[in-house]
C-alpha cells in the first residue's frame, strides 16, 4: 500500500448471503475511481480487525466477483469485539477486544471502516463508533429484518430461491395428494416466509409475528379437500410458534453472540396435522440453501448502489451511520437507531392485506379480523 494515500477498511460480518461480493466490488472501485483511496479488506468479519488479518483490495482483486455468492473476505457471526470468545481450558471466556480493534485500525492509517452485515454487525459497529472508531454500515441479511431500511440486499435472492423450491414442491404435492410443508429461514421475522408463500402459491403461511392455531390450519386443509383441492402447501418461517407456545430451538451455539439456532417447527406442525386429520404430511427444510448461489439482478444493483453510497459517506466523514433504502432512494440512518432492533411484519402491511384478500390462511381462524385474532 502506498504511503500518504487515504485508506478505508472493509469487512463482511454475520451470515453470508448473495450480494456481498457485489458490495465489496463497488466499494473498491468507487474508492479508487472517485477518491483515489485504498481499501483494506479484513478477513472473516470483525475477527480480522481483532487479529489484524487483512489484505489490500485492488481493482484486479474484485474483478469478476459481481455474480458470485458468498464473500471473498470470509465472514464470522461469532467475532463480537465486545464479547470475543477465547477458549481457556475446557471453557470459553468472553473478552472485550475493542481496544485492539482501535489499535489495529489506527496502525493501518484508516480513516473509516465500512461494515457490511445484519443486526449483530450493526450493533458492534454502533458500539465501536461510540469508542471513536468511525464506521459506516451497509445493511445485509436474507431475513430482511434490519431496522432503519425498507429492504436489505440478499433478501431478494433468498426469496427467489425459496419461491423456486415451493414451485417444485407443488408437483409432488399434487401427485401424492399430500400436505407439503416448506420451512424457510428468517429468525424472528416472517418476511421470507410471507414473501415466498405469496410468490410460490402457498395455501397456508405461518410467520413468527402471528402465533398460529393448529385447528385453524387443519380446518383450512379440510376445506381445500372438500373443494376438490387434494393437496396443500404450507410455508413456515423457522421462528413460527403456536398461540401460547414457544419457538422450536434446534440447537444453541455456546460461543456465539446470538446462541439460539431455530429450526424444526415444521415437524411439530406435520405431526399434529397427521394426528388430527389423518392426512399424509411431509416436510422440506430449505436451511442454508437460501444463503447460497448467485445474487439476483435486483440484489446486484442494490448491493452496488449501497457500496457506492457507503464510500461517499466514509469519504465525507459521515460515519456512525448505516446506508438505508427508503422507497427507491438511498439515505442513511444513525447506527445507534439500528442496533438491537428488529423490523417485523405488522397486521396492516400490504403483503398481509394481499394474502387475506386472496384467501390465504395465516394460521388463524378465517372470517375473524386478523387484529382481533391476534388480541385474543
Catalytic residue selected from 16, 80, 119, 143: 143
Q: How many CB atoms lie within 10 A of CB 4?
A: 5
How does pLDDT run across 242-271, given as a tens digit for each residue?
999 988 887 766 666 666 677 889 999 999
Domains 7-153+295-338 and 158-291+346-375 share a fold: yes
Return the half-sphere exposure (C-beta side, CA atoms, 13 A cut-off) of residue 138.
31
pTM over 0.85: yes
Q: What tens digit of pLDDT does each residue of 219-238 get? A: 999 999 999 999 999 999 99
The answer to whether 329 is a known catalytic residue is no
Pick the CATH number of 7-153+295-338 from 3.40.640.10, 3.90.550.10, 3.30.10.20, 3.40.50.450: 3.40.50.450
How many whole angstroms separate alpha carbon 116 and alpha carbon 34? 20
C-alpha cell at 329: 432512494
Check residue 229 and give its pLDDT: 94
Fold of 158-291+346-375: Rossmann fold (3.40.50)
Taking the alpha carbons of 55, 60, 61, 66 in that order, is the dihedral positive or negative?
positive
Task: Say if residue 374's pLDDT is above 90.
Answer: no
Q: How confident is the model over 332-346, as a mean pLDDT?
A: 95
pLDDT tops 70 at residue 32:
yes
Residue range 120-175, pLDDT digits in tens: 999 999 999 999 999 999 999 999 999 999 999 999 999 999 999 999 999 999 88
Across the chain, mean pLDDT equals 93
Nearest to 345 by CA among 73, 144, 91: 144
Q: Where are the chain's structural domains?
A: 7-153+295-338, 158-291+346-375
pLDDT band at 92 (very low <50, low <70, confident <90, very high): confident
Amino acid at each position: 500500500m502506498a504511503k500518504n494515500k487515504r485508506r478505508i477498511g472493509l469487512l463482511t460480518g454475520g451470515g453470508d448471503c448473495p450480494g456481498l461480493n457485489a458490495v465489496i466490488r463497488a466499494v473498491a472501485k468507487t474508492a479508487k475511481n472517485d477518491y483515489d483511496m485504498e481499501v483494506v479488506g479484513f478477513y472473516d468479519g470483525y475477527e480480522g480487525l481483532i487479529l489484524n488479518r487483512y489484505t489490500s483490495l485492488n481493482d484486479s482483486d474484485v474483478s469478476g466477483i459481481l455474480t458470485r455468492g458468498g464473500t471473498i473476505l470470509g465472514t464470522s457471526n461469532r467475532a463480537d469485539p465486545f464479547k470475543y470468545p477465547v477458549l481457556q481450558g475446557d471453557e470459553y471466556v468472553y473478552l472485550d477486544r475493542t481496544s485492539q480493534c482501535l489499535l489495529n485500525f489506527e496502525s493501518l492509517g484508516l480513516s473509516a471502516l465500512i461494515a457490511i452485515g445484519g443486526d449483530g454487525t450493526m450493533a458492534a459497529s454502533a458500539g465501536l463508533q461510540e469508542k471513536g472508531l468511525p464506521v459506516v454500515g451497509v445493511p445485509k441479511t436474507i431475513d430482511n429484518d434490519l431496522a432503519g431500511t425498507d429492504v436489505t440486499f440478499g433478501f431478494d435472492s433468498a426469496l427467489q430461491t425459496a419461491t423456486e423450491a415451493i414451485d417444485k414442491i407443488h408437483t409432488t404435492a399434487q401427485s401424492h395428494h399430500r400436505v407439503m410443508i416448506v420451512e424457510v429461514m428468517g429468525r424472528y421475522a416472517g418476511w421470507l416466509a410471507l414473501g415466498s408463500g405469496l410468490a410460490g402459491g402457498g395455501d397456508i403461511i405461518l410467520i413468527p409475528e402471528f402465533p398460529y392455531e393448529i385447528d385453524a390450519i387443519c380446518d383450512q386443509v379440510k376445506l381445500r379437500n372438500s373443494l376438490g383441492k387434494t393437496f396443500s402447501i404450507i410455508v413456515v418461517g423457522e421462528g413460527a410458534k403456536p398461540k401460547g407456545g414457544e419457538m422450536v430451538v434446534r440447537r444453541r451455539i455456546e460461543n456465539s453472540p446470538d446462541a439460539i439456532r431455530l429450526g424444526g417447527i415444521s415437524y411439530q406442525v406435520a405431526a399434529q396435522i397427521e394426528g388430527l386429520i389423518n392426512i399424509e404430511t411431509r416436510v422440506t427444510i430449505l436451511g442454508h440453501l437460501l444463503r447460497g448461489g448467485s445474487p439476483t439482478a435486483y440484489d446486484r444493483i442494490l448491493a452496488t448502489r449501497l457500496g457506492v453510497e457507503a464510500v461517499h459517506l466514509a469519504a465525507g466523514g459521515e460515519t456512525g451511520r448505516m446506508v438505508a433504502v427508503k422507497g427507491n432512494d438511498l439515505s442513511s440512518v444513525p447506527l445507534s437507531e439500528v442496533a438491537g432492533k428488529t423490523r417485523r411484519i405488522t397486521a396492516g402491511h400490504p403483503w398481509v392485506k394481499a394474502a387475506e384478500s386472496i384467501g390465504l390462511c395465516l394460521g388463524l381462524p378465517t372470517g375473524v379480523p386478523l387484529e382481533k385474532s391476534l388480541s385474543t
